[in-house]
Amino acid sequence: MALRVDATLLIRKIRDLRSLTFRRYRVKEKWAASRPKHPPTSLAQQHFDVTYNTQLGQLWPSVRVALLSERKYGALLNHFCNDAFVEDLHSQGCTDFITVRAGLECDSEFEVEKRDDVVQQQSSLPHLSPNIKCFVFPRGDITRFKPARPDMSGLLSYYLMDAASVLPCLALDVHEGHNVLDLCAAPGGKTLALLQTQAIGFLCLNDASVSRTLRLRKVLHSYIPKQLLSQERLRITSFDGTKWAGIEPNTYDRVLVDVPCTTDRHSLMEDDNNIFTKSRTGERRQLPQLQLGLLLAGVVAACPGGEIVYSTCTLSHIQNVGVVEQAIYLAQENHGIQLQVVDLRPFTHMFRNTFHFASDLHLGEMVVPHLAANFGPIYMCKLRRLT
């Protein structure tokens, strides 16, 4: 009874205070609209349960749990910034997963396990740039990184991203003086990784969305010195990437095609900007066609002998292997371009202690979310243009 009286008095006092507030300064209470009967995250979950249960089989329940759990991040070091913070990362138990494996070759167990043609490709492993460093916490440790702080020049010390997203950049194998095209560059994590190599002769960054391009520029200005963002070595554009073949064909030594996709983890966790929103159904269904157009444009933009890395952040077989298979066929059929699939298994084998890789793909490699190593999903396939 006493609690009820106290509550009544409290309500009266609040009303008295409101009556003393001028009407112009009063804030009218607003009630949010009721939650949609079928929110995008729920629709995404239903779609994945049907699609990936068939695709992944007994593996799907564990992958599903990982996707719905807190993801792990990596800290991509910024070599244009003061490196005094590296000791702090070491003291927290972090290690650079790239440097740990950079000097090690594939072991004999792998050579026996894989086919002869794969073993022969071990000599052509991508050169792991000593300038790309990405720190991660040990397996099973989901400790969060602290926000990066700017140095004396105002540049941030590291960029937080899914550590598996660095793998396509490593697989691209950028050498000194290469001309590189990042066809879908925003928001900028992979672009920063490419710039860390400090080997690129010219870098073209494109994204069809003007707003995303603006975000890309902000990221670059937060991490890269202004003198290195000159138009002589770097260009930022906002063109339709599918039409790039008509803009600069046979031009680039390396092309990264990190296409828009269903972004599985985001689709399961965030209703905002979710591709499974009902109003975006048509856009979602057109994704494989868009991805194919972007990959073909990247293939034509590469010069003969150049290499292309196609990547997504989805588990979808249709958006991954399906798109690559069609691109290989249509490149020959429509453009007279012969492509060779570069086997990345010796490359990904080096990082098996950090990431959990799918074991049954016949084209490309895929990082599969796993509770002990909750990175990804990241799919990548490397193509070499022969003609």
For the annotated catalytic residues, the residue numbers are 313
Question: Which distant-in-sequence residues (6+ apart) come within 8 Å of 195 by Cβ?
Answer: 203, 224, 228
**Token digits for 283?**
């856009």
